Structure 1
Amino acid sequence: MALLHVNFFSNVLGMDTGLSIIMPEEKQEIGQIGVESVKQTDDLPVLWLLHGRSNDETMWARKTSLERYVGSMRLIVIMPSVSYSRYMNMAYGPRYYDYMTRELPVFCKKLLPKLSMKREKNYIGGLSMGGAGAMWIGLKNTDRYSRVCMLSTGGVPPLEGLWRKKTPGAMYLSLNNDVYGVEDVDTLEGTEYDILKLIRDTARTAREYPKVYHAMGQQDIRYPVAMAIKETFESIPGNPFEYEYHEGSGKHEWGFWDTWIEEYLKTLPEAE
């Protein structure tokens, strides 16, 4: 695979930002199988893979064997950097949701002409904050993403009280205020930021639904959040999201994410 590092100026963010990109190649190093062929006219599927709160665009490639896992897949993987924005238009900060959904796809299509813009060939996933971001973006744009993957999701309103100790003056209170305009995000229940409300509203109003894949570590302190999300998806009649939940031994750490990103990739059409 070709691993690209891209830096460019974002007009939406008003600053320079970075991307890591994995591109399929026909020939690989010893012990690695490439794709059968890469043609100039290819319309290649893309996985938008999102990082967690303390990460950046390089972490998926640095901390997992992602490049090896996708070596034989006809798949582009794009990993953006969004700081601690939760992939939102921040109350006191840049408009990262607009960047992710408007500017970035257009920029990447110009950079990578083989990248598909078709819904059925666009997938979005992530870990921790990135898992929540994938769900947030994927469910609000069901006409653009056919699959959503969330691993170890925890930091979502109004569920943080299920695992966080609300210590006055803690750093996360200030960060939450930057993102949402409030310190205690559990007060956002019933608002546009309520992830459970988003799931139910999308189930009721969407014309088409992304497949949702959810995995959580059994020893993860955020496990109660996963259970609340799982219960909400499973309460929807007919399972329109084709929701599937998985769990295994593991905490909030890279060993778990390395295992489960490989498992998720096996569910994609490109792995068949």
Structure 2
Amino acid sequence: MIGKTTRREALTVAAAALGAAALANGTQPASAQTTPKTFVLVHGSWHGGWCWRRVADRLEKQGHKVFAPTLTGLGERAHLISAQVDINTHVTDIVSVIKFENLDNIVLVGHSYAGLIITGVAEQIGSAISSIVYLDAFLPNDGDTLVNSSPETVRAATLAARDRGDISRPFPPASVFGVNEKDQAWVNSKLTPHPLGTSFTPIKMTGAREKIAKKTFIRLTGYQSPFFDKALAQCRGDKTWRTFEIATGHDIMVNMPDELTNLILEAA
């Protein structure tokens, strides 16, 4: 049920449904929000800032400020990959953008792996974040690592890679992320190996995430992940979180940029 005081919403993929949900919740539809906001969009494993281009363009056309940095060792920064790149490196990447750009009152969005990163960012500069959005993302607890939050097959492959002395994890094809056929070649051409060191860094948490005023978890149900299902259930049981479900693949920013733009604005 969606009511004026409800914090949980289940949405279909239609933009009209997003507007209807907003109205039923006593708020403006995303398209009607005119106050400029600042968005920091953080990509997941094997991706780069490039994956947010369609969403960033749409947000900027509405007058918002958007930053979509690429994490060290990925995308156009793939030449910086090394055994030393870990979770802390990537947290610092995002914290540095926020600090050097003098950003405040930001909407921080993390996709997939970046759920770990935005959690770490909140620990360092939570006061700069007005809204945090976990987009089909890991929702860690204190001490969690990426490797321990992965399926057994992925965990075994990651440990074997470390034993071999590898410094990266090879990327899967775009089809694994449910990317539409038209865009698969483009996405495949942009994916890069992910720094292996990020798999083993434990997240240190002191409750900073829970102090952020607006918290949202978005589950993309076309992508199978028991970890993300568990995170959705956890957030649904907490009235301080809003939850959304959309029946699409993992890379919604590629497949459905209009719908994701509206949804991010709704969460802002």
TM-score, normalised on structure 2?
0.56
Unaligned runs of 5+ in 2: 1-30, 75-81, 139-144, 162-167, 171-192
Deviations 1:141-170 (A, max 9, x none): 322211111212159453213783633645
Match of 1:28 in 2: none
Match of 2:262 in 1: 262
Question: d(CA) in 2 for partners of 1:212 and 1:71?
Answer: 25
Match of 1:137 in 2: 121
Matches within 5 A, 1:171-210: 172=169, 177-180=196-199, 182=200, 192-193=202-203, 198=205, 201-202=206-207, 208-210=211-213
Match of 1:98 in 2: 92
Question: d(CA) in 2 for partners of 1:68 and 1:84?
Answer: 27
Would you say the 8 A contact 1:129–1:153 is kept in 2? yes
Q: Which has the higher strand share?
A: 1
Name segments (4+ residues, structure 1) moved above 6 Å.
none
The amino acid across from 1:251 in the alignment is G
- Pairwise CA RMSD of aligned residues? 3.8
User: Which of 50, 59, 77 is residue 66 of structure 2 equivalent to?
Assistant: 77
Question: d(CA) in 1 for partners of 2:220 and 2:146?
Answer: 17
- 1:256 to 1:202, Cα distance in 2 relative to 1, 3 A: farther
Match of 1:60 in 2: 52
1:160 pairs with 2:158? no
Q: Which has the higher helix share?
A: 2
Would you say the 8 A contact 1:124–1:147 is kept in 2? yes
Deviations 1:66-117 (A, max 9, x none): 31244224x21011111458xxxx972373323422x3233323xxxxxxx4
**Identity, % of aligned positions:** 12
- 1:157 to 1:146, Cα distance in 2 relative to 1, 3 A: farther
Would you say the 8 A contact 1:53–1:83 is kept in 2? no
Equivalent pairs counted in the alignment come to 191
Unaligned runs of 5+ in 1: 1-32, 37-42, 110-116, 186-191
Would you say the 8 A contact 1:162–1:225 is kept in 2? no
The amino acid across from 1:255 in the alignment is N
The amino acid across from 1:53 in the alignment is S
